[in-house]
Amino acid sequence: MLVVRPILKDDYDALHLCAEESGHGFTSLPVNEELLTNRIDHSVNSFQKPEVTEPGDEGYLMVGVDCDTGEVAGTTGIEASIGWDTPFYSYHISKVVHSSPKLGVNNVVKLLTFGNNYTGCSEICTLFLRPKFRGGLNGRLLSKCRFLMLAEHPHRFSKTIFAEMRGVSDEKGNSPFWEWLQEHFFSIDFTMADYLTGIGKKGFIADLMPKLPIYINLLSKEAQEVIGEVHDNTRPALKLLENEGFTCRDYVDIFDAGPTVECDLRNIDTVRHSFRAQVSVAEHGSSTNYLISNTSFENFRAVAQQAAFDAETQSVILSPKVASALQVKSGDWVRMAAV
């Protein structure tokens, strides 16, 4: 059984392993000891921060842990409000019309406009499940447990929730979109640019990125083809978010042109359809799986396990093992949703 909990300082080695296994293009998990340590420390402090009434600079990083072995299976996180201390850049795809009635010419051309439009929004991020744990409900748990947290503690997060999807790159980390930018505006390769961004050194972006809109039809054919497309490994994650109500509003990543998807917190499917239930701890014969979290924030726990829910009494029977993993007892409340 996998249980999701806040990351601890003792989890550094496991997070470093996730960073190594995640490969190129995973900006939020660079293989850098200082950055990973800082992310863990920041998360620990954020979870322990008292009386949070609105989203600030908090960053909540969690890990999925195998209850039987103690091995960390993956990581998942939420940034409460991005873009204040460190700028958050993106491209917006817009349209401009070039028209000449006298000539009977009417051309619609797409542009990429550089900006910071997601400043202040909450970002779901750092979702990575190690290959050996992929299967069953583990991927859904790591992704959707964040929505149970949003539903139970909405005051800690912004109205708009977004996620950056990993764009197209090859096994060596080369991005067709970045190759065009590199040729015309930069002199560093994609993996280095991605790494520098991951460790917080984003100054080069504002210094070197073209300030005026870029006509998409002037890009190379290879670069144009990957705008708004996702990496093959990211397709399941994108599909899951789309099923939750997330959609692309024509924003893409400035490095690999992967799509950014967003949704109003209240309209996320799991948030809307989640519910609270009072716990009874006992063995049961139910074979129905649910996403289940406790209602604590500092000691947040979530699982995807079988439970016996009674809608009439708003109560749920959890096995002793599941109750122990969630750190709840009879009489406590949990938040639940369909898997």
In tens, the pLDDT along 96-118 reads 998 888 888 888 999 999 899 99
Q: Which helix (H) or strand (E) holds 179?
A: helix 176-184
Point out the catalytic residue in the list 42, 184, 231, 284.
231
Q: What residue type is assigned to position 70 of the chain?
A: G
Which of 78, 65, 180 is closest to 129 using CA atoms?
65
Is the pLDDT assigned to residue 198 strictly greater than 70?
no
Residue 265: which residues within 8 A CB-CB, separation 6 or more?
122, 150, 154, 157, 158, 159, 160, 161, 271
Residue 231 annotated to the active site = yes
Q: What is residue 195's predicted lDDT score, i.e. its pLDDT?
A: 64
CATH 2.40.40.20 in the chain, residue ranges = 274-338
Distance from C-alpha of 209 to C-alpha of 182, rounded to nearest angstrom:
10
pLDDT over threshold 70, residue 188: no
C-alpha–C-alpha distance, residues 227 and 176, integer Å: 9
Name the least confident of 103-112, 140-149, 169-178, 259-268. Answer: 169-178
The percentage of the chain sitting over the pLDDT mark of 70, rounded to a whole number, equals 92
Residue-wise pLDDT for 233-260, tens only, equals: 889 999 999 999 999 999 999 888 999 9
Residues 99-138 as b or e (16 or more Cβ within 10 Å = b): eeeeeeeeeeebbbbbeebbebbbbbbbbbbbeebeeebb
Right CATH for 2-91+115-270 from 3.40.630.30, 3.30.460.20, 3.40.50.720, 3.30.70.100? 3.40.630.30
Whether pLDDT at 194 is above 70: no
**Start-end ranges of CATH 3.40.630.30 in the chain?**
2-91+115-270
Task: List Cα–Cα distances, 127 to 211, 273, 313, in angstroms.
Answer: 31, 22, 35
Q: For residues 124 and 147, give the distance between their C-alpha atoms in angstroms, rounded to a whole number.
A: 9
φ, ψ of residue 178 to 5 degrees: the values are: -65, -35
Mean pLDDT over the full length of the chain: 91
Burial of 324 (0-12, 13-18, 19+ CB in 10 A): middle
Mean per-residue pLDDT for 162-191?
81
For the segment 21-33, what is each residue's pLDDT rounded down to a tens digit?
987 657 678 888 9
Architecture of domain 274-338: Beta Barrel (2.40)
Q: Tell me the pTM.
A: 0.90
9-58 pLDDT, tens digit per residue, is: 999 999 999 999 987 657 678 888 988 999 999 999 999 998 899 999 99
Which whole-number Å values give the CA distances from 47 to 57, 80, 85, 326, 333, in the listed order? 12, 11, 19, 17, 20
> From start to end of the chain, where are the E strands?
2-6, 59-66, 72-79, 90-100, 105-115, 122-129, 160-164, 214-215, 247-252, 259-264, 275-281, 289-294, 302-306, 308-310, 315-318, 333-338
Helix axes 138-152, 235-243, angle to 10 degrees: 40
Residue type, 329: K
Percent of the chain at pLDDT exceeding 90: 74
